[in-house]
Amino acid sequence: MSKIPRIVLLIETSRGFGRDLLYGIAKYSRLHGPWSFYREPGGLNRVSPKLSDWEPNGIIMRDSAKIKPLMSLGLPTILALHKQNSGNSHPYPRIITDSEAIGTMAAEHFLDRGFENFAFCGFDRMKWSQIRRKSFQKTVKDAGFTVHVYQQPKSPAKRSWINEQRILSEWLSNLPKPVALMACNDDRARHAMEACRQANISIPDDVAILGVDNDELVCELADVPLSSIALSTRKAGYKASELLDKLIKGKEKMRGQKIPVRPTHIVTRQSTDILAIDDPAVSTAVKFIRENAKKALQVGDVANAASISRRVLEKRFRKLLNRSVFEEIRRVRTRHCIKLLLETNMSISEIADALDFRGVAHISRYFRKEAGMSLTDYRKKYAS
């Protein structure tokens, strides 16, 4: 009987990101194991001094004060970096979040809703937050707008939440309204929500707030349910386990492999459930398209719903949203298709029926044209 691999997991459970990594690892163990796990639920920095006595075979860990002692064990190790400041000088494979793509997706989400005022709230000293901010700014700038950026107080005393909440509330109060606010993650979005509440600012009517990680506990327990960017974290946990298995068996060597965590889609909740479009006809048209995304809509259907001629609607659509009504229909239906691909176990045939397509061939052509890949490939790439 072969020996069951012993794996050290130093991954926090206090955040959705860590929990999703663990789900992915558990799935791999269930399908290809079993593995035996050593895990510290109390935090990243609590590690038994006698861990070497347990004779582990591999490690998957987040940033920790114990990172060097653990590396000294000479075991196959995969790092799920949070601070992302360790450079490329070591051979350890790393789980890396695509923060640039996250910033771009957030900006496009708000631009699609017709916003002209934008803001960003992050953690100034965190590299991943800086990358998300810069990408968000670039996409907004390319669309012809600017971003108001919140800067944290430099004084440690003022950065305590009791003091910073007042400073953040004042900053939010002075922003032009309505404004689309990207927070660097769900925790920071919750801070912004608390500051809005203190300043009597309405969410989403005055400030629409979008987080990152789609931590369901944080998002659903917020005063206003929080919209958030979902990530392929569970997939990354599975892929990290797959690589670690090969490293343990000597089928691969550690050479700085990168395991990406990509943004998959936006889970829209009440915090961004608003259209910042001044034209009533266009606003009605966009709302009609989103409420009827499961139907095979025609442009004429949308024009009738907006009580306006097709020609005039197309002209106003181009002016305000820089796309046609037809393009908006395809874009919204494709996003609804992505939601079903990633959040359900529905077959392609079932998704086609649910979205009123004329069979699998029709939805396959439609989706490939919009997403650039097949439905099956998209699910394999991004689903848990």
Q: Are 227 and 193 a contacting pair, CB within 8 Å?
A: no
| Structural domain boundaries in the chain | 6-97+232-262, 99-231+266-272, 280-382
DSSP for residue 2: P
Burial 229-249, CB ≥16 within 10 A → b, else e: bbbbbbbbbbbbbebbbebbe
What pLDDT, on the 0 to 100 scale, is given for residue 38? 83
**Cα separation of 77 and 8, whole Å?**
9
Which of 108-122, 159-173, 185-199 is predicted with the least confidence, judged by mean pLDDT? 159-173
Over range 176-196, report the average pLDDT: 96
| pLDDT beyond 60 at 1 | no
What pLDDT, on the 0 to 100 scale, is given for residue 44? 45
Q: Are 8 and 51 a contacting pair, CB within 8 Å?
A: yes
| pLDDT beyond 60 at 85 | no
pTM, two decimals, is: 0.85
What pLDDT, on the 0 to 100 scale, is given for residue 315? 92
What φ, ψ does residue 118 adopt, rounded to 5°?
Answer: -135, 150
Tell me the H-state helices in the chain: 16-32, 67-71, 99-112, 127-142, 156-159, 161-173, 186-198, 216-221, 233-248, 280-291, 299-305, 310-321, 325-343, 348-354, 360-371, 375-382
| pLDDT beyond 50 at 251 | yes
Which of 43-52, 83-92, 214-223 is predicted with the least confidence, judged by mean pLDDT? 43-52
Give per-residue pLDDT as tens, 93-125. Answer: 999 999 999 999 999 999 988 899 999 999 999
Burial 294-312, CB ≥16 within 10 A → b, else e: eeebebebbbebbebeeee
Per-residue pLDDT band at 84 (split at 50, 70, 90): low
Q: Which among 221, 327, 331 has a CA at the least distance from the CA of 266? A: 331
Per-residue pLDDT band at 195 (split at 50, 70, 90): very high
Look at the alpha carbons of 117, 123, 126, 128 in this order and tell me if their dihedral is positive or negative: negative
Give per-residue pLDDT as tens, 132-162. Answer: 999 999 999 999 999 999 999 887 777 777 7
Q: Are 254 and 208 a contacting pair, CB within 8 Å?
A: no
| pLDDT beyond 90 at 265 | yes
What pLDDT, on the 0 to 100 scale, is given for residue 42? 47
What pLDDT, on the 0 to 100 scale, is given for residue 88? 56
CATH 3.40.50.2300 fits 6-97+232-262, yes or no: yes
What pLDDT, on the 0 to 100 scale, is given for residue 255? 93
Percent pLDDT > 70 in the chain is 91
Please tell me if the domain spanning 99-231+266-272 has the same topology as the one spanning 280-382: no
Strand 179-183 to 147-149 pairing = unpaired
**Six token digits for residue 274:** 């608003």
What φ, ψ does residue 94 adopt, rounded to 5°?
Answer: -135, 140
| pLDDT beyond 90 at 55 | no
**Cα separation of 17 and 24, whole Å?**
11
Give per-residue pLDDT as tens, 299-350. Answer: 999 999 999 999 999 999 888 888 899 999 998 999 899 989 988 999 999 9
Over the chain, what is the mean pLDDT?
89
What pLDDT, on the 0 to 100 scale, is given for residue 64? 58
Per-residue pLDDT band at 52 (split at 50, 70, 90): low
Per-residue pLDDT band at 49 (split at 50, 70, 90): very low
What pLDDT, on the 0 to 100 scale, is given for residue 322? 82
Q: At what angle do helices 310-321 and 325-343 cross, to 10 degrees?
A: 70
Per-residue pLDDT band at 41 (split at 50, 70, 90): low
| Total count of residues recorded for the chain | 384
Per-residue pLDDT band at 2 (split at 50, 70, 90): low
What pLDDT, on the 0 to 100 scale, is given for residue 82? 67
What pLDDT, on the 0 to 100 scale, is given for residue 81? 76
| pLDDT beyond 60 at 196 | yes
**Cα separation of 364 and 271, whole Å?**
32
For residue 228, list its beta bridge partners.
211, 267
DSSP for residue 225: P
| Superfamily designation of domain 99-231+266-272 | Response regulator (3.40.50.2300)
Q: Which residue has the higher pLDDT, 85 or 325?
A: 325
**Cα separation of 111 and 103, whole Å?**
12
**Cα separation of 282 and 40, whole Å?**
53
Q: Which residue has the tokens 């582990």?
A: 56
What pLDDT, on the 0 to 100 scale, is given for residue 381? 84
Q: Name the amino acid, one letter, at 169.
A: S
Tell which CATH classification among 1.10.3720.10, 1.20.200.10, 1.10.357.140, 1.10.10.60 matches the domain 280-382.
Answer: 1.10.10.60
